[in-house]
Amino acid sequence: MTADRVVRYRVRGPLVELTRARIHELTREPEAVFWVFVFPILLAAMLGLAFRSRPPEALPVAVVAGPHAEARLAALGAGPDLKPVILSEAEARLALVQGRAVLVVSGDDTPSYAYDPTQPDSRAARLAVDAALQRVAGRADAFTPGNTEVTEAGARYVDFLVPGLLGMNLMGTGMWGIGFSLVLARNGNLLKRLVAAPVRRSHLLGAQLISRLVFLIPEAGALLLFAFFVLGVPLRGSVILLVGVSLLGAVAFSGLGLLTAARPRTIEGVSGIMNLVMVPMWIFSGIFFSTERFPANMQPFIQALPLTALNDALRGVMLEGNGLMAVLPDLALLAAWGIVSFVVALKIFRWQ
Partner 1 sequence: MHVADASPSKSALRCDGLVKHYGEVAAVNGLALDVRSGECFGMLGPNGAGKTTTVEIFEGLRDPDAGEVEVLGERWHGDGLALRARLGIQLQETKFPEKLQVGEVLTLFRSLYPRGLDVGEVLALLSLEEKAGAQVRTLSGGQKQRLSLGCALVGDPELLFLDEPTTGLDPQSRRQTWEIVEGLKARGRTVLLTTHYMEEASRLCDRVAVIDHGKVIALGTPRELIASLGAEHVIEFEVGEAPAAVIEEGMLHALPSVENVVRDGASWRLTVREVHRAVPALLAALAERGAEPTALTTHHATLEDVFMSLTGRRLRDS
Q: Helix crossing, 239-260 with 201-229: angle to 10°? A: 140
Smallest distance, partner 1 to C-beta of residue 188, A: 3
Smallest distance, partner 1 to C-beta of residue 196, A: 5
Residues 6+ apart with CB under 8 A from 248: 331, 334, 335, 338
Distance CA 131, CA 82 (A): 12
Q: Is 12 in the site for partner 1 (CB under 8 A)?
A: yes
Q: Is 24 in the site for partner 1 (CB under 8 A)?
A: yes
Distance CA 312, CA 163 (A): 9
Distance CA 106, CA 68 (A): 9
Q: Is 11 in the site for partner 1 (CB under 8 A)?
A: yes
Distance CA 173, CA 64 (A): 55
Smallest distance, partner 1 to C-beta of residue 314, A: 32
Among 78, 153, 190, 217, which residue interacts with partner 1 (rule: CB under 8 A)? 190
Nearer Cβ to partner 1, position 114 or 214? 214
Q: Is 25 in the site for partner 1 (CB under 8 A)?
A: yes
Q: Which of residues 256-315 bind partner 1 (CB under 8 A)?
A: none
Among 7, 142, 150, 325, which residue interacts with partner 1 (rule: CB under 8 A)? 7
HSE at residue 208, side-chain half, CA atoms within 13 A, is 26
Quick note: the x/- pattern for partner 1 over 318-337, rule CB under 8 A, is --------------------
Among 99, 120, 188, 221, which residue interacts with partner 1 (rule: CB under 8 A)? 188
* Sequence-ordered alpha helix ranges (H) in 189-305: 190-195, 201-229, 239-260, 267-284, 299-304
DSSP state of 85: E
Q: Is 352 in the site for partner 1 (CB under 8 A)?
A: yes
Q: Judged by CB under 8 A, which stretch of 195-203, 290-298, 302-310, 327-335 contacts partner 1? A: 195-203
Q: Is 347 in the site for partner 1 (CB under 8 A)?
A: no
Among 43, 124, 136, 194, which residue interacts with partner 1 (rule: CB under 8 A)? 194
Smallest distance, partner 1 to C-beta of residue 185, A: 8
Neighbours of 280 (CB within 10 A): 14
Element (H, E) at 82: strand 82-87
For the residues of 196-229, what is the DSSP string, one character each? TSS--HHHHHHHHHHHHHHHHHHHHHHHHHHHHH
- Site residues (vs partner 1, CB under 8 A): 1, 3, 6-14, 16-18, 20-21, 24-25, 28-29, 184-185, 187-190, 192-201, 352
